[in-house]
């Protein structure tokens, strides 16, 4: 279930958890472990809802604490409202946000939201190890390893030391960060195979030149696809505010802002013929979604770019 250790600074504790609370998209929600561990005596928590996964996280958190949303979410999810318009509460247990919304292609970039003097709780499932991350003001940083770090079923949890032990009375010992530390991360048998895989991935990242190099490559990949979209005279359309476009998940429609189902089906069929799969967007929103996680190379991204250019040349009548 668990593995981990202490940072040299003594400020953070790091855990790897075998996670049973993944959803169909492989995404973690802030529920069992984090919700039961971080409440203390607080009555409510603040939530930033910017897409499907932060919305689900807020719903799950309501099982354990009163949830206050710092702004009223509006669909479709295409942006993050200006922070000066948010309503914060300094008595909140924490302020939660999802660093990258995979379904809608929204990412907090280049920095995290302002904490307003409460611990930030970040779900980094989709962009952990894809870009440098500033831990300043964060109390808990967690995420599934399956996007950029390892295999599905493993969760990374990084906890600020002063928050450990502030769990609810109903928290099972196996989910308690305090118990994990007391038992040297061996409360039960850790998933050694799942832990070994991130070790190999981290060595691969280091061999590539480190996290900054990986980040610069991800910028090139996403920039290549966004550039085609923006220069297509509306044939390809990305509704996401450019300030918050994800470098991991590029979501767009074909044939205009509302999309053309026939054209999108043709595009997906042609992509499969060119050995590109899983470009169909999430079942809840449709559209096209190009997921450019670390394992996707610039050369592979160029294959998609070439197909997009060919398809536009054939079908764009504007």
Active-site entry in 53, 56, 155, 167: 53
Annotated active-site residue in 27, 36, 56, 147: 147
Distance (Å) of CA 258 to CA 151, 196, 212, 303? 35, 44, 36, 25
Q: Are 105 and 238 in contact (CB under 8 A)?
A: yes
123 catalytic per annotation:
yes
Catalytic residue among 46, 56, 123, 155: 123
Q: In which element (H, E) is residue 249 found?
A: strand 249-254
C-alpha 288/C-alpha 1 separation (Å) is 36
Inter-residue contact 202 to 226 (CB < 8 Å): no
Inter-residue contact 49 to 73 (CB < 8 Å) = yes
Q: 3-class SS at 182? A: helix
Strand partners, 120: 95, 138
> What per-residue string of b and e applies to 95-130 under the rule 16 or more CB within 10 Å gives b?
bbbbbbbbbbbbbbbeebbebbebbbbbbbbbbbbb
CA distances from 14 to 29, 136, 157, 185 (A): 18, 16, 6, 10
Residue 146 CA to residue 164 CA, distance in Å, equals 26
32-60 burial: b if 16+ Cβ within 10 Å, else e: bbbbbbbbeebebbbbbbbbbbbbbbbeb
Our answer to whether residue 136 is catalytic in this structure is: no
Beta bridge partners of 18: 154
Measure CA 217 to chain center: 18
* Residue 313: its H or E element: helix 298-315
Active-site residues: which are they?
53, 123, 147
């Amino acid at each position: 279930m668990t593995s981990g250790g202490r940072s040299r600074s003594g400020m953070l504790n790091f855990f790897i958890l075998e996670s049973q609370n993944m959803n169909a998209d492989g995404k973690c929600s802030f529920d069992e472990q984090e919700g039961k561990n971080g409440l203390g005596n607080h009555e409510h928590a603040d939530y930033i809802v910017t897409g499907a996964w932060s919305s689900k996280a807020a719903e799950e958190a309501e099982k354990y604490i009163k949830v206050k949303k710092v702004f009223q979410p509006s669909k479709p999810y295409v942006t993050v409202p200006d922070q000066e318009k948010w309503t914060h509460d300094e008595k909140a247990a924490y302020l939660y946000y999802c660093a990258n919304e995979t379904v809608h292609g929204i990412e907090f970039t280049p920095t995290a939201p302002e904490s307003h003097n409460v611990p930030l709780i970040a779900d980094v499932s989709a962009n952990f190890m894809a870009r440098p991350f500033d831990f300043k003001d964060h109390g808990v940083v967690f995420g599934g390893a399956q996007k950029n770090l390892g295999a599905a079923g493993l969760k990374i949890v990084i906890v600020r030391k002063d928050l450990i032990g502030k769990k609810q009375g109903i928290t099972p010992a196996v989910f308690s960060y305090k118990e994990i530390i007391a038992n040297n991360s061996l409360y039960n048998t850790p998933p050694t195979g799942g832990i070994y895989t991130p070790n190999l991935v981290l060595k691969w990242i280091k061999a590539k030149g480190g996290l900054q190099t990986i980040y610069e490559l991800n910028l090139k990949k996403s920039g290549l696809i966004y550039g085609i979209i923006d220069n297509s005279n509306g044939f390809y359309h990305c509704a996401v505010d450019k300030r918050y476009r994800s470098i991991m998940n590029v979501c767009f429609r074909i044939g205009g802002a509302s999309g053309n189902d026939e054209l999108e089906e043709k595009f997906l069929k042609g992509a499969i013929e060119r050995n590109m799969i899983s470009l169909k967007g999430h079942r809840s929103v449709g559209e096209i979604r190009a997921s450019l996680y670390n394992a996707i190379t610039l050369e592979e991204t160029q294959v998609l770019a070439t197909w997009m250019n060919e398809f536009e040349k054939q079908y764009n009548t504007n």
